Every structure is written in C-alpha cells, then in structure tokens.
Structure 1
Amino acid sequence: MDPKKFSGTSDPMTAEGLIKSFEVIFYFMELQDADRVIYATYLLLGDARLWWESASVAMNLQTLTLEGFKEVFYSKYFTEEVPYRLTREFMTLRQGDRSVAEFVRKLEQGCHFVPLIANDAREKLRHFLDGLRLILRHDVRVAGPTTYVVVMSRAMAAEQDQRDIDNDRYGKRLYQAPQQQQQFKRSF
C-alpha cells in the first residue's frame, strides 16, 4: 500500500481523506491500536509534523488510541464549524458551471455530512435533480427518473448531447460566415 504523506492543509476534505485512507490501510494490515497511532504520526511531514510534536507533549503516547489521535487531529484540521459549513454548502449545492461529473463528486462529498439524504435513495435522487442545470434536469425528467445511478447516467448523456448541439451550432456558424461574406461582396 502506498499511503500519502501529510504536511498539513487548510482543506478539511484533504484532512478527512487522510484519516479515511489510514482507516482502510489499518483494516487490511490488521494493526494494533498503538501501532496505528505510530504509523499515522510517521506520515506527518512539515507543518503537520511540527504541530504533532507540540500537541503530543501534553499526551500520554503509551495509552493514546487511534480514536484519541483522530480527536486531536480533527481539532486542528477539521474544526467543529467545518461540518456545519459543509452541510450548508451541500444543502444549497447547484451544478452551475460544473460538469455533471464534478457536480456528482461534490454531491457525494456532501452526502458524507448529511446522512439523512445519503441514506435515503429518494431524497438523494431529489437533491441531485434539484441541483442540475435546468436544461439537463428537463431532459432527465422527461425520461422518467427511477434511481440515482440511472439519473446520473442520463444527466451525463444529456450533458454530452448539449455539448454536441452547441458544437454543431458553432460549427455551422463558422461554415456559414465565409459564404455570407461572399454573397455580400457580390451584391456590390
């Protein structure tokens, strides 16, 4: 396994991702709790290493569990206000200028903080549809949405169709422009 080293960040999702990757590695390696803390702190570099050296002074490292480490880590890199802010962002999430794939990624990240939506297939589907750009939402709803996965796939197809239509229109304008110029010159 190739774990990522961590040198600190202001992005709470990166910090959360680090902890999640630790947990996956620890599960497969079947490490004891004390070894998990040693391994996790070994991967801290730069600012994160300096933070840990000062934070660990006030702890009994012999009895520190992974849960204890996570609590201290989250207090630094994933403060209490972060889940509330991310929940608010998620509840007002709209596709906007994002691609459907980017929108899905943001939606999936946000679901982590709003389990009431993440664990209810109908709510997740509704939230996804409500956030789609209007033209894509129309195309998807016409097809009769059934499940989140089907709707997501249809939205991606509708987005590609929209790109193809735009490219076709743009191509025709480029093609017609020289012809129109020639007609204009002939009339004089």
Structure 2
Amino acid sequence: MVAEDWLRSTEAIFDHMELNDRQRVSCVVYLLKMDVRIWWEVIKQTRDQNSMTWAEFIQAFSKKYYGAIVLAIKVDKFVTLVQGNLSMTNYAQKFDRLAKFAPKVVPTKTLRVQRFVRGLKMMIVRDVKMTNAEVFIYVEVLD
C-alpha cells in the first residue's frame, strides 16, 4: 500500500503540473530512493528512459512492487469485501482502495455501483433500492 500511495500522490502532482508522459518519467526518477532507486538503475540498463511512456513506467513499477500474488490477494479481498461491522465511511474507503486492484471485476461504473451495493448491510441495501432502484452513480449511492 505504501507503493500505491506514493504512486497516486506522484500522479496527482504530475496531473497538477500538466506533465506529458515523457516529462513524468523524467521527473519521477528524481523521486526514487533507496531500493527503488537501485531497481530503476537496473531498468535503465535494459530500457531507454527517454522513450519510455508513463504507462510503461507504471507497468514496470507495478510488476516489481505489485507481484502477481499480492495482486491476487487484493482482488480476492475486493471480491469478498462486505460492510459487516464497518462504518459506511470505512467500508467505502476499503472498497475504493481495493477496487483499484480489480479493474476487470468492475470494468464499468454500473458494475462498480452494483458491487458496492452488494457488499452493504441488508438494511442499507433495502434503503438504497427504496430510494431509487436504478441509481448507477457511485456518489449518489454513497450519499
């Protein structure tokens, strides 16, 4: 999760700065420290940093720091996530965090909302359905 948080924060900064793909790769290398810096030095030996896109960087980074087993565990946690004793806020936070790892499970906004509602406590599901059976906007369901 540390790698995920770092990557999302970095992307937010790059979005704010309106950097293009190559600028993002060029800038991100200055933010790498310790073991990640060593990993990058190895990557540089096999790839041309100047032609690498941001998507390629993320793919290489993800392969290193989100191994197949870690990703499978995150997807499984997402698929089995239910509200249970969690507050709505905590459930929504866990749902959002884990959904990032399972884009194939919820590839559309509609499926994302349906999956979110399916994990809610039954009495809340009933309230959501009574409010509007066709609500497909995540924020509205959350409200």
Q: With structure 1 as the length reference, what TM-score do the two structures score?
A: 0.57
| Residue 92 (structure 2) pairs with residue 119 (structure 1) | no
Q: 1:69 corresponds to which residue?
A: 57
Are the counterparts in 2 of residues 37 and 64 from structure 1 also a CA contact under 8 Å? yes
Q: Tell me which residue corresponds to 1:29.
A: 17
Q: Which residue matches 2:83?
A: 95
The count of corresponding residues between Structure 1 and Structure 2 is 137
Against the structure 1 CA distance between its residues 69 and 124, is the aligned structure 2 distance closer, same or farther, given a 3 Å change threshold? closer
1:138 aligns with 2:112: no
Residue 152 of structure 1 pairs with residue 142 of structure 2: yes
How far is the alpha carbon of 1:28 from its aligned partner? 3.5
Relative to structure 1, the CA distance from residue 145 to residue 106 in structure 2 (aligned partners, 3 Å threshold; closer, same or farther) is farther
| Deviation sequence 1:46-67 (CA, Å, 0-9, x none) | 2222322333233333433333
Query: Which residues of 2 match residues 72-87 of structure 1 at below 5 A?
Result: 72-87=60-75
CA 1:89–1:46 in structure 2 vs 1: closer, same or farther (change >3 Å)?
same
How far apart are 1:104 and its partner, in Å?
A: 0.7
Identity %: 30
The amino acid of 1:141's aligned partner reads R
- Cα distance between partner residues in 2 of 1:34 and 1:72: 15
Q: Give the counterpart letter for 1:152 in structure 2.
A: L
Give unpaired runs (5+ residues) of structure 2: none
Taking structure 1 as reference, are residues 69 and 90 closer, same or farther at Cα in structure 2, changes over 3 Å only? Answer: same
Q: Deviations over 1:93-151 (max 9, x none)?
A: 11233221110111122333245536243x44443333234xxx325515714235454
What stretches of structure 1 of length at least 5 have no aligned partner?
Answer: 1-10, 154-188
Instruction: Determine if contact 1:95/1:132 at 8 Å carries over to the other structure.
Output: yes
